[in-house]
Amino acid sequence: MTPILQYAGLLLERADHLRRDAARLDEYFHSPACRIIPLLEERSLLRVNGNPATVAEAVWVSLPDLYGCLHPDSARVFLGLWDEAPVFAVHVEARDSRPLLTQWPDSRFIDLRNVGSLLDNASASLLAYARGLLYWQRHHGYCSRCGAPTTAVQGGHVMQCLNESCGRQSFPRLEPAVIMLVEREQADSRQVLLGRSHQWTHNVFSTLAGFVEPGETLEAAVAREVWEEAGIRVDMVQYQASQPWPFPASLMLGFRARALSHALHIDPQELAEARWFSAAELRTFGNWGDAGNGLKLPRADSIARFLIDSWLAEQQD
């Protein structure tokens, strides 16, 4: 079975050509066909069945549903067109969210990270897109050049400085990060290098990762991070896939690499532990969130899991 890369299945037409037409976007926002995704502090409104672990679907609303929930300065972004219907995302404050929760008593505002793997990929991708844009907009309320307030233009995809002598435009920022599955070949098997972070739930092992630094190629970032975290030199760095990861603003760039050395020299500031694992060993692992003390794989919606599952699918043990 081919692994699925969650959050990378956006079916929406972004419709960039409409972002500069403020009057048309306002008309779209007030039209009966408009579909709106509400978020509360980066949490999405999701229909559940008694427990967040049984999420059924994302909740779409229309503008009349939001009366009493929005203010003139409420953050909103035009996401694009879904089956020719306009789609927006809006931010609601906690104090204003009760009408929505009253209308949909089986729904809750839930962090997408907790339930993303339970949604269909198209919905998860759309909610991730909405989350990332609203997070950026809400955290760029002031100009980085002069400190003056900014306002959202171009459908919420640009923050414009209100200082006429400055006028700087800011665009959504992404933080590129490399994430890599490092492989070595032993006499009788292939093995991959996984590490355990100090911050993770006990016994979860995942691929190594790190942010790309200025003036650095992606391949160089892979080699540097593996060396810094585990003391392993690598070559044959090969791109595999990428994943939007708006938690809050990353783009994960997945690679494989071949180990040139085998002895681990772990940086204790970066990792609590690192080990080499065979495919047979990985198939005995549990999943992120499972009870018990056994070793566990990373969360099912992550590119780390995608890289591991893709590698496992190729192994004959």
DSSP codes of every residue in 188-233: S-EEEEEEE-SSSPTTB-B-EEEEPPTT--HHHHHHHHHHHHH---
**Cα-based distances in Å from 239 to 181, 193, 298, 304:** 10, 17, 20, 13
**CA-CA distance, 109 to 200, in Å (whole number)?**
24
Distance of CA 282 to the CA centre of its chain: 25
Quote the pLDDT of residue 34.
97
- Rounded to 5 degrees, what are φ and ψ at 109? -85, 115
Phi/psi of residue 93, each to 5°? -80, 155
Give me the pLDDT at residue 102, please.
Answer: 86
Closest CA to 256 of 216, 187, 208: 208
Going by C-beta distance under 8 Å and a sequence separation of 6 or more, which residues neighbour residue 3? 305, 306, 309, 310, 313
- 237 exposed, middle or buried (CB, 10 Å; 0-12, 13-18, 19+)? buried
Instruction: Give the full edge-to-edge strand order of the sheet including 169-170.
Output: 150-153, 158-161, 169-170
pLDDT at 191: 97
Cβ atoms of residues 41 and 96 within 8 Å: no
Own/partner long-range contacts of 210-217 (Cβ < 8 Å, ≥24 apart): 210/177, 210/178, 211/175, 211/176, 211/177, 211/178, 212/176, 212/177, 212/178, 212/253
pLDDT of residue 242: 97
Amino acid in position 60: W
pLDDT of residue 55: 63
Q: What DSSP element (H or E) covers 127?
A: helix 121-138
Residue 150 β-bridge partners: 161
Residues in a beta bridge with 289: none
Distance (Å, whole) CA 35 – CA 165: 38
C-alpha dihedral (170, 149, 141, 90), degrees to nearest 10: -100
Q: How many CB atoms lie within 10 A of CB 81?
A: 16
pLDDT for the residue numbered 47: 87
Q: Which two tokens stand for residue 6?
A: 């969650």
Q: What is the largest CA-CA distance in the chain?
A: 68
pLDDT tens by residue, the chain, 317 residues: 567 899 999 999 999 999 999 999 999 999 999 999 999 989 999 987 766 556 668 999 999 999 888 888 889 999 999 999 999 999 998 888 888 888 888 888 999 998 888 899 999 999 999 999 999 999 999 999 999 999 999 999 999 999 999 999 999 999 999 999 999 998 788 999 999 999 887 799 999 999 999 999 999 999 999 999 999 999 999 999 999 999 999 999 999 999 999 999 999 999 999 999 999 999 999 999 888 889 999 999 999 999 999 999 999 86
Q: Residue 112: which of 42, 176, 54, 57 has the closest Cα?
A: 42
